[in-house]
Amino acid sequence: MYDRVLRPLLFSLPAEKAHNLTMAQLKALQGHALGRALLRNWAGPISPQPVQAMGLTFAHPVGLAAGLDKNAEAVRGFFALGFSHVEVGTLTPRPQPGNPLPRLFRLPSDQAIINRMGFNNHGAESAAARLAERDPAWGIVGGNVGKNKDTPNDRAEEDYIRAMQALAGKVDYYTVNISSPNTPGLRDLQHEAALKTLLDSVASENKRTQPIPLAVKMAPDLTKDEVQNMARIAATCGFQGIIATNTTIDRGGLRTSAEAVTAMGAGGLSGRPLAQRSTRVIEWVREAVGDHLAVIGVGGVFTAQDVLDKRNAGADLVQVYTGFVYQGPGMVGQLQTAWKND
């Protein structure tokens, strides 16, 4: 149904309009038992396959990456579609509109997306209010946090801490997002001195209340030395996980014409072209820190083989975003089955 009917309909619309329509439908369906049953039926069978990672128990290894449900509006709907965990955000302490439209583009020939959303969100407090309604039995919820665009990097830790404080008691783990290419200067926080200062501050704040697992999301455009140094710093600062990876600024090897890609402009590229790059980062992280950190693999997860590649590289869990856009909800059960049966 998705391939024959829904995807052609959604792909006939501008990408962000299609996203908003999808979110509206999920919000409507998640609100009553019949709607949730429809979503579960659409997703297909999901069998129990508990995974221990970051001190948490996930029902199975396949989750939803941050970016699809920025404001925690359809968490129950995504769980009904079979995801074991849903990462909401990126959430900033203050609401912000993000970058000007258009800012989301499909590359169907590459099964990819370019986005320059710019952390558009309603603010961490708004998401926390929605998450107050959730039942922990639905599944694991992660809170992906970032800084506001107008906050200078030397005060970034204040934004991350404020966002965490707003989400305290409402999420099961925090992800510190310092790797989006769409907030000017954000990736500079991955540099050693700034990174250690930020992660130390975040970890201290986390310990001050009831601590929950901490993960940091890294860019795919780093060198091996940079990746491994970042992973070691995260481990030293008391983090429990690495999310590998965010979107890439590289445009090499695309089937989409150079003219079309140039017309789309700046932004992070996700989807199939990211698969090998993100898998390589997983290998580098695992080589650097062994089993001291959990690794969540993100980037180009579409097929059973993609899942196995991530797992064999060292991932404990995987998350999907662009694959879900192109393949629809049936992929969750297929990916979970591949991991289980291999």
pTM beyond 0.75: the answer is yes
Q: Do 167 and 174 form a contact (C-beta atoms < 8 A)?
A: yes
Residue 207: per-residue pLDDT: 93
Cα–Cα distance between 32 and 25 in angstroms, integer? 12
Cα–Cα distance between 240 and 238 in angstroms, integer? 7
47, 109, 126, 180: which is the annotated catalytic residue?
180
Cα–Cα distance between 126 and 256 in angstroms, integer? 38
Enclosing H/E stretch for 296: strand 294-298
The tens-digit pLDDT sequence of the chain (342 residues) is 777 888 989 999 999 999 999 999 999 999 999 999 999 988 888 888 999 999 999 999 999 999 999 999 999 999 999 999 999 999 999 999 999 999 999 999 999 999 999 999 999 999 999 999 899 999 999 999 999 999 999 999 999 999 999 999 999 999 999 988 888 888 888 888 889 999 999 999 999 988 999 999 999 999 999 999 999 999 999 999 999 999 999 999 999 999 999 999 999 999 999 999 999 999 999 999 999 999 999 999 999 999 999 999 999 999 999 999 999 988 999 999 888 776
Question: Which fold, 2-341?
Answer: TIM Barrel (3.20.20)
Cα–Cα distance between 310 and 303 in angstroms, integer? 11
Residue 111: per-residue pLDDT: 98
Cα–Cα distance between 162 and 157 in angstroms, integer? 9
Whether 180 is catalytic is yes
Q: Which residues of 64-89 are buried (b: 16+ CB within 10 A; e: fewer)?
A: bbbbbbbbbbbbbbbbbbbbbbbbbb
Q: Do 142 and 171 form a contact (C-beta atoms < 8 A)?
A: yes
Tokens of 59: 């029902």
Residue 342: per-residue pLDDT: 67
Any residues with CB less than 8 A from the CB of 224 and at least 6 apart, and which? 284
Cα–Cα distance between 235 and 224 in angstroms, integer? 17
Residue ranges of domains in the chain: 2-341
**Helix, strand, coil: what percent of the chain each, to 5?**
45, 20, 35
Residue 158: per-residue pLDDT: 97
